[in-house]
Each structure stands twice: as structure tokens, then as C-alpha cells.
A and B are shown apart, each in its own frame.
Chain A
Amino acid sequence: MLSYTIRRVGQLIPVLLGMVFIVFMMIRAIPGNPAQLILGQQASKQAIEELTKQLGLTEPWYTQFVEYMKGLFQGDLGMSLKTRNPISDELWPHLAATIELAFVAMIIAVIIGVNAGIISAWLQNSWFDYGVMLIALIGISMPIFWFGLMEQYFVSIQLDLLPTTGREDVRAPIEAITNLYLLDTLIQGNFSQFIEVVKHLILPGIALGTIPMAIIARMTRSSMLEVMKSDYIRTARAKGLKMPLVVYKHSLKNAMIPVVTVIGLQAGLLLGGAILTETIFGWPGIGTYIYDAISSRDYPVIQSGILVIATLFVFINLIVDLLYAAIDPRIKY
């Protein structure tokens, strides 16, 4: 296990370096003069020269790359061109908002997905099974941004059940401590605000959670079907154990191993999907941060946002791989 861990972490280094390099080269890959593109046609010559210097485009790329890496190690992500603030200061509240949303989406996806998959396998070839599998297929085929809009239209506008956009009631803003509002409101003991935060999380959480939910349901079902064919399940049933016990205790334990991997992979993908969900629901997360930066051509912010999410994605995948090896002692590396 230890040697596997070391090897797996060792593989990470070239990947991370490559990622940083790609993100670093983004601004240099812009056709023409990047500073001109950022400032627009009317910009003065002096302003363009200044920005070219600020972006480090006057120096050769390799010295600049070393500088960039040095900065990253010190937690320096550069400066936003629009607000002129250090990006590392601006990033955390956005990142916290995204993490909170992704976490809730994952919980919804796992609870509904795993249970739907289990029951589908249990009632294989029943109407319930067909229904769940069809819904799962539709869930995978739906663009989440469209689903989010439909949620807003039917649940928020037509039925007026839940708020359409944002993270909190703007009339009663939340005092940020950790920027994870579920946690903040609990720390402050403000229960009505906590409920408000939960209400704001439900619709974007479901929208973001749909695809992982569908994939988890399909994976759980096929994994359960596989396990339920095994001898020890037949033995358990032969000695008269009740079906719920066989399904939830004996089968589930073994069936969950591949499911855990899928859950981990999906957790990483949620971070990518967050961009689309956040723009729909006005969620002030890192997706919105990148989206706004794209329209104002704030390249350092786009770079940092992408780098942070991609790094998180890589580390989540690492944790999943290690967990997978830890959960299943039969796997030898």
C-alpha cells in the first residue's frame, strides 16, 4: 500500500507540472497581441505597453514560467486586471461557495442514486426498474443548464416554492466566517438563516447532481446485479434471511466497491459542471468568477480559476484511487 501510494503520488508531479504549463501558456497562445486584445481597439499605446510588461510578455517565456511557479508555491496567483486585487484573496469566497454547492449536489446524487440503483437491481425487470433506468438515461442526456432553467420556471416561478437565484436572502445577508454558509449559520446559531441557505441550495444542488445521480444509479444497479448472482447471496437466501437484509447488508458491501470509484470520479466532474449551474442560478462560486472573467477578458483570473479547479480535480482523483486500494484488500498493486 505504501509503495503504491508513493508511486501514485509520484505520477502526479508531471501531470501537475503539465497542467500549470498549459494554463501558463494560455495568455501567450492568444493570436496577435494579448494586451491589445484585452484592452480593446481604443487603447493607448502606453497602456498596451504597460499591460504587456505587467503580464510579463516582454520577457522570454521560460524565465516567466519560473517566476510563475515561484509565485504559485507562495500562494500568489497574480492580480486581477479588472479589480486590481490579488486573485488569491478574491478566490476563497468563490471557491467555498462552489465547494458547498458541489457537496450538496453529491449528497443528493449519492442518496437518491444508490438507493434507486439498489431497488432497481432488487426488482430487476419490473416497471420500477425500467422507469429508473429510463429516467437515468434522460438525466445523462439532458444539458444541466437547461434542466436548471426548467427547475426555475416550474418550481420557483409557477409554484413559488423555492428561490430562483443566489445563496442567501439578500435582505438578511449572512456574516461570513468560513464562507461555507451552512457552517456559518450553524456557528452563529441562526436557525432561520440556515433554513434559508438550505432553500437556496436545493434547486442548484439537484441540477448539478442530476448527471452523477444517473451515473451512480446505473453503476449501483449493475454492480448489485453482479453481486446478487454470487454463491454467498444464494446461501444467505437459502437459510431464510429476509430480502431487505440480504440486499442492504450482504450484497451492498461488495457492490459498493466499484460505486465508490464512480462517486469519486463524479465528484471531480461536478467542479466542471459547476460553471454552468452557477451561471444559471446566480451562484457566486468559482464558475461565476471564471464566467465574468471571460466576458471582461480578465485572463489572470481565468487562468487561476481553471488551475485551482483542475488541481482540486487531480487531488480528488488521487484520494479516490488511494481509497479504492484501501477499501478492497483483494486489490494488489
Chain B
Amino acid sequence: MAELAGTTPPITNPTAAQEERVISPWRDAWRSFRKNKLAMAGMFLVAFFILIAIIAPLIAPYSYDVQKMADKHLAPSAAHWFGTDEFGRDILTRIIYGARISIWVGCISVAGSVIVGSTLGVIAGYYGRFIDMIISRVFDIILAFPSILLAIAVVSVLGPSLRNALIAIALINVPIFGRLVRSKVLSVKQEEYISAAKAIGMKDSRILFQHVLPNSMAPIIVQGTLAIATAIIEAAALGFLGLGAQPPTPEWGKMLADSKDFILDAPWTVIFPGLAIMLTVLGFNLMGDGLRDALDPKMKN
């Protein structure tokens, strides 16, 4: 983070006091983030689920895919905190392993969207004209579909699997980051220090990596956090429709779909996976909102 801070435009008129103790914008943001109780709560939720995902094999009390028909639909008890499903599998265990899948899908798909989106955004914004027009039109077209519908279309073509669901979710989020980076590039291009950089003979690629991308970091981080939240819900939705993870993968949306017919006899099979999705998504949303308040100077008082 400190490296990035160094690349932001230098203060034009540094006074002696500022030279003594320069506060980097990232540390400043962290300070205001830390004061925001809801944002911190969100960060702890996210950290909690990530931790669970990492140490899943150590803490999961049972196996997530071994079926034990004798234990079918047991109500929550000391032995099975969240009860068991129609194959006698422990729901707590499946939720713990499910955290791996949801967080992995959320983060990887958004990482993919960020990489592809920013690359296209930079190309469109920096080289402009014809290339810009083509890329922007493609973004318009992708955004013209309700996102979940386009994801369904992509998966119904590629075939239902977790990997294809991930690809579909990454694809529908590309224009969000593409547009964001493109508009940043366009506004940074006008700045005087870019003309200066060009005048001293800096290469395009260096200008991009040293000036343009660091300037886009804050909005990408904010949007990225919020996009992970949506991506997790979308992955669960695709899983729920049978277009995502396939059995016996303990994906939360798929767990809901498999148990929804037993809601009368075993409501716990439906309640807990949904709560897990909600809390994870809530964590990312709270964190994203907090990051926006901390990083977006327009919102800062």
C-alpha cells in the first residue's frame, strides 16, 4: 500500500509541517474506516467466513459427502448443531465447506472481471476513437441484459458446472470495471502531470502503471468489494437453478435447492444455508459501504 501511495501526485506546495508527518491517503482512509462501526462489523464477518473457509478440514465435525441414511433429517442437536439433510450429512459441515466455494467463486470471478474489465477500460480510454467505440458498445450490450439472465444464457450454452457459473458471473461484471477504469483514464489523461510525464518521454505503459492505474485503485476496491457480494448471491442463484455446482459439492445455493422440498419436515435444511449466504453477503456489503465512505473523497465531509 505504501508503494502505491508514493505514486499519487505530489502535493504542489508542501509546507514544513506536512513534510514532517505526511499522512498517506491509504492510512487516512484506514483511519476513517476503523471509526465506522458497521464497516468494521462487516470486515469481521468477512474475516470470519474466510477463516472458516481456510481451516474447514480442521473444524468440520463430519465429512461433507459421506451419506448415512440412518441419520436422515435429524433436527439440530448437540451432535449436529444445524441438523442433517436428506442423506444424513451434517449441515454444519456442509456449510463450513460451502464457505470455501462461495468465497472462492466470489473472489475469483470478481478478480477476473477486474483484470479483463480494467484492461479493456484502459485500452478504450487510452487509445480512444474506434477501439473505444467498439469496446463501449459491447459494454452497453452486456449491460442491456438483466445480469442474472445473461449468466443463465452463458451457463445454458457452456453447460451447468461451478466453473462455468464462475465464468458467467465474471463476464457479466466486466463492463462495471471496464466503464469505471475507462472514465478514470479519460479524466486522468487531462491532468497536467500526464502531459509532463509525456514531455519527459515516459512510455505509455509506464504512465499507465505509475499514474493511471493507481488513480483507479480506490474505486476498483470499493466496487470490487460490493461486486463480490453480488457475485456470491448470483453463484448461489445459479446453483439454486441447477446451473452451478453439481452434487455432492456443498454449495449453499445448491443445498437450498436440494432441501426446499423438505421444508415441511426439516426446515433447518433450508434455514441455515440461506443464513450463511446472507451473513457473508452482508459482510461484503457493509465492508464495501464503509470503504466507499473512507475512500471516496466526494462522500467525505
Contacts and interface: CB of A to CB of B under 8 A. Distances in A.
A286 B6 CA distance: 54
Interface stretch (A43-51, A81-89, A309-317): A309-317
Interface string B137-151: 110110011111110
Contacts of B140: 11, 14-15, 18
Contacts of B237: 143, 145, 276
A150 B240 CA distance: 15
Contacts of A313: 144-146
Interface residues of B, number: 43
B148 A18 contact: no
Interface in B87-108: none
Contacts of A153: 263, 267, 270-271
B282 A272 contact: no
B83 to A, nearest CB: 14
Interface stretch (B56-64, B74-82, B183-191, B273-281): B273-281
A295 B152 CA distance: 12
Interface string B253-292: 1001000100110010011011001110110011001000
A3 interface: no
B105 to A, nearest CB: 14
B242 A295 contact: yes
Interface in A250-299: 268-269, 271-273, 275-276, 279-280, 290-291, 294-295, 299
Contacts of A138: 278, 282
Contacts of A141: 229, 233, 278-279, 281-282, 285
Contacts of B271: 150, 153
B146 A14 contact: no
B245 interface: no
Contacts of A11: 140
B104 to A, nearest CB: 18
B278 A142 contact: yes
A291 B286 CA distance: 32
Contact of A145 (B158, B256, B279, B281): B256
B243 interface: yes
A272 B153 contact: no
B236 interface: yes
B148 A275 contact: yes
A26 to B, nearest CB: 5
A149 B285 contact: no
B156 interface: yes
Nearest to B275: A146
Chain A, interface residues (CB within 8 Å), range: 35 or more
A143 B240 CA distance: 10
A99 interface: no
B157 A19 contact: no
Nearest to B151: A272
Interface in B153-194: 153, 156-159
Given A146-B277, A291-B241, A272 B256 contact: no
Contacts of A31: 158-159
A317 B264 CA distance: 41
A306 interface: yes
B141 A15 contact: yes
Contact of A294 (B156, B158, B240): B156
Given A19-B141, A143-B277, A157 B242 contact: no
Nearest to B267: A153
A112 interface: no
A152 B253 CA distance: 17
A36 B13 CA distance: 71
A137 interface: yes
Contacts of B152: 275, 290, 294, 302, 306
A143 B144 contact: no
A203 B247 CA distance: 30
A26 B148 CA distance: 16
A152 B157 CA distance: 32
B286 A137 contact: yes
A137 B282 contact: yes
Nearest to A26: B157
Nearest to B242: A295
Interface string A125-164: 0000000000001101111011101101100010000000
15 contacts: A14-B140, A16-B144, A18-B137, A19-B145, A26-B156, A26-B157, A137-B289, A142-B274, A143-B277, A145-B253, A269-B146, A273-B148, A275-B148, A290-B152, A310-B144
Given A279-B240, A279-B241, 10 more contacts: A18-B140, A137-B285, A141-B279, A142-B278, A143-B256, A143-B277, A146-B256, A153-B263, A276-B240, A309-B146
Interface of A: 11, 14-16, 18-19, 22-23, 26-27, 29-31, 137-138, 140-143, 145-147, 149-150, 152-153, 157, 268-269, 271-273, 275-276, 279-280, 290-291, 294-295, 299, 302, 306, 309-310, 313-314, 317
What are the 6 tightest A-B residue pairs by CB atom distance, in nearest-first order? Answer: A272-B146, A146-B274, A18-B141, A141-B282, A141-B281, A272-B148
